[in-house]
Structure 1
Amino acid sequence: MTPVPRASAATSPRELAHPSCDEIRLEGVLHALSDPMRLRVVRELAVADAEVACSYIELPVTKSTTTHHFRVLREAGVIRQTYRGTAKLNGLRRDDLDALFPGLLDAVLAAAEVQSARLAGS
């Protein structure tokens, strides 16, 4: 399994640790996107085109597993999570990913769409 760099330390309990752009690695991003549930989260965030609460994205897994998937995406640098009041909001780090790996996110999202359409037609 490819090691994912640990995110920079949070400065307060309500602030979550995120990797800086320099800490984001291709193998960590690809690992995070390789899971169908995490890819589903990224697809929904891409369509939402705004920050959304965790509860906005329904996954057919337990709450603790959902939390794990969001953490993997955050620690890989794919999403940014911030607290707003009692809600934890999630946003895709599209600008960072596009700057680091031009075309990668668009290619993955397009391939996921093609696969989804192909499987729906089966």
Structure 2
Amino acid sequence: MKIGEASRVSGVSARSLRHYEDEGLIVPGRFGNGFRDYCQSTIDRVLVIRSLLESGLPVRLIREVLPGLTDGTAAGTEAVCPEFLHEVRDYRDRLAARIAALSDQRAALDTYLREARRADP
């Protein structure tokens, strides 16, 4: 299928599909005229990429683990090297720290708003 249909089917913009290709995450086929040709397995791979990106993983880490997740030879973390898992844990921990900081900021704003309501006649 051409890029427009692949975009519609996957829910990923054509621009993102081109970006995934530029990053080496997908390799669509080509029609004789040079247009990209997306098969179902590439669309399935795009859906995995999208899910991983939405979880916050950077492209560099996705590129590292993606072959084992989409080639059908290994399931889940069995094929993932310990270094990768360490990086994912580190990323998760940094994310948790950011969430905690944002929660503290929200709590401070809530306090401010409560106090401002009390002061408002």
What is the TM-score with the length of structure 2 in the denominator?
A: 0.32
Larger radius of gyration: 2
Structure with higher strand content: 1
What is the TM-score with the length of structure 1 in the denominator?
A: 0.32
